[in-house]
Chains A and B, each alone.
Chain A
Amino acid sequence: MSTTGTGIRVASVDDIEEGEALKVPAETTGHGDAIAVFHDAGEYFALDDTCSHGQASLADGWIEDGEVECPLHSARFCLKSGQPQCMPATVAQRTHRVEVRDGGIWLHPGEETTA
């Protein structure tokens, strides 16, 4: 677990529409994988972007009811905990803390949420 810093400002709150996600590239996150920041029903969540099952970007997934469904094989993950909700995924996505501050969305790569 990394230290709590100010985080990275990845977007303004208006940039990510409800039901949409932003893919923050690995060069920005400094985390090894890109991170997907999701907007679901007024809340923001962040998970490792690459699906733990196949080579797919969860930022391209379907976001609904606190879950994201992978575009490739429809594995669903809990946005809050990163836990897989159905097959074919069996491994959780890492979570990252997201904060809304000063009209911006701030990502804290490597800081897991405690879901």
Chain B
Amino acid sequence: MSAPGRIAVVGAGLAAVSLCDALRDQGYDGRLALYSAERGLPYDRPPLSKDVLLGKARREDVLLRPEQWYADQNVELHDAAFVRAIRPHDGGVELADGRTSTADRIVLATGGTPRTLPVPGGDDPAVHLLRTWEDAERLRVQLLPGARVAVIGAGLIGAETAAVAVALGCRVTLIDPVPVPLAAVVGEEIAGSLHARHSAEGINVRTAGVERIERRPGRREVLVHLSGQSGAVAADTVVAGIGIRPATELAEAAGLTVDNGIVVQAGQRTSHPNVIAVGDVARQDGHRVRHEHWDAAQRDGETAALAILGRPERAPTATWFWSDRHGSRLEAIGTMTDAERTVIRGAPHDGAFTVFGLRGDRLVATAAIDRPRDIKAARRLIDRAIPVDPAQLADENADLRKLLKG
């Protein structure tokens, strides 16, 4: 397969920029255009719910690449350029302002759109979503000392936002219908320890669904009514962190196969040979879930670049993500429900420990709080399919590096 002469990338998040980076790194010297619906240089999203909300990071601190990189790598960056439609058969890309261009290959890296609260009042102006730089800026100025903040959803974004808000002196209520969020992914032990930290740090944790958001005439606050519970939560600001839906509008309109994401095969290929999809918007055929994580997005970009250039694929690796809250760091590899049994290393009562998930004599998942070395070892043990001895995993005196050497 000969390399295409022109590649257009729709979206400018991590997957998109990783793709551009990998293409140039692999020697691709054709045209490369990046269309970002947002204004300004592409940025990294993880800091939005952490240092950006805390006011510790500015836009220039979270750029994916410095401005000069786009010139050096000859990447045509079009910001505030909303793509209205794509035409797979002739590679057409149509912008909302009427401009059109064509490419030999179109990459859809459109990401996700935060889910809005599907309840009455869910669209109240007091309700914030968090996905973009502008979202973070709007929310940040609300997180004043003493402000009453209700965070709905205690997954990654919700938990991080609640932790930031309480650190900034807000009075925080964290609402989730699941008693121990994240348990399926990281296991009961880690999830339980993390969730308990919220209460210990002064967050009011409510296990409930949300029924409606009520705005009372003439009042600045809203009332968050919980399902099956009396005593609504009064809040000046509400944050909904209840996940994203993949931004598949362009793909659907173009007739691509879409089912909980743009369905992709090996090499991130969609149902049309001229179109590739990467990042949060893509779902690997045969996999139930989309991997909405930083590391997965970066890998998608690399994988797609190699496929576009007809180079051999790299071996797949286990999924990895992290989350920062209350000064602690959660990291997880794989999914704990894939494990038949678990082994704990370290002392759970100290708050810093690791849970290894095994299937037979192989490691399939690992989750840890504040133990980066365990995670790095585990990632390699999983990717290299090295048999492990549970007793050694549990033994703090056994060096995990040595297990890698067999």
* A interface with B by C-beta (< 8 Å): 19, 60, 62, 69, 71-74, 86-88, 90
Contact = CB atoms under 8 A, between A and B. Distances in A.
A73 B21 CA distance: 18
Contacts, number: 29
Contacts of A87: 14, 17-18, 21, 64, 298
Contact of A71 (B17, B295, B320, B373): B373
A62 B376 contact: yes
A106 B251 CA distance: 59
25 contacts: A19-B401, A60-B372, A60-B373, A62-B373, A62-B377, A69-B376, A71-B372, A72-B329, A72-B372, A73-B322, A74-B295, A74-B320, A74-B376, A86-B298, A87-B14, A87-B17, A87-B18, A87-B21, A87-B64, A87-B298, A88-B64, A90-B64, A90-B65, A90-B66, A90-B69
Contacts of B322: 73
A47 B165 CA distance: 36
Nearest to B324: A72
A48 to B, nearest CB: 18
Interface of B: 14, 17-18, 21, 44, 64-66, 69, 295, 298, 320, 322, 329, 372-373, 376-377, 401
Given A71-B372, A87-B17, 10 more contacts: A60-B373, A74-B295, A74-B320, A87-B14, A87-B21, A87-B64, A87-B298, A90-B64, A90-B65, A90-B69
B302 to A, nearest CB: 9
Contacts of B66: 90
The residue in B64, B298, B372 that gathers the most chain A C-beta atoms within 10 A of its C-beta is B372
A86 B17 CA distance: 12
List the 3 shortest-distance A-B pairs measured between CB atoms, nearest first. Answer: A71-B372, A62-B376, A19-B401
Contacts of B401: 19
A14 B47 CA distance: 40
A69 B320 CA distance: 14
The residue in A19, A60, A88 that gathers the most chain B C-beta atoms within 10 A of its C-beta is A88
A86 B373 CA distance: 19
Contacts of B64: 87-88, 90
B319 to A, nearest CB: 13
Contacts of B18: 87
Nearest to A69: B376
Contacts of A86: 298
B44 A88 contact: yes
A44 to B, nearest CB: 18
Contacts of A90: 64-66, 69
Contacts of B377: 62
A87 B372 CA distance: 18
Contacts of B21: 87
Contacts of B65: 90
A90 B70 CA distance: 13
A67 to B, nearest CB: 12
A37 B334 CA distance: 32
A86 B320 CA distance: 15
A60 B376 CA distance: 11
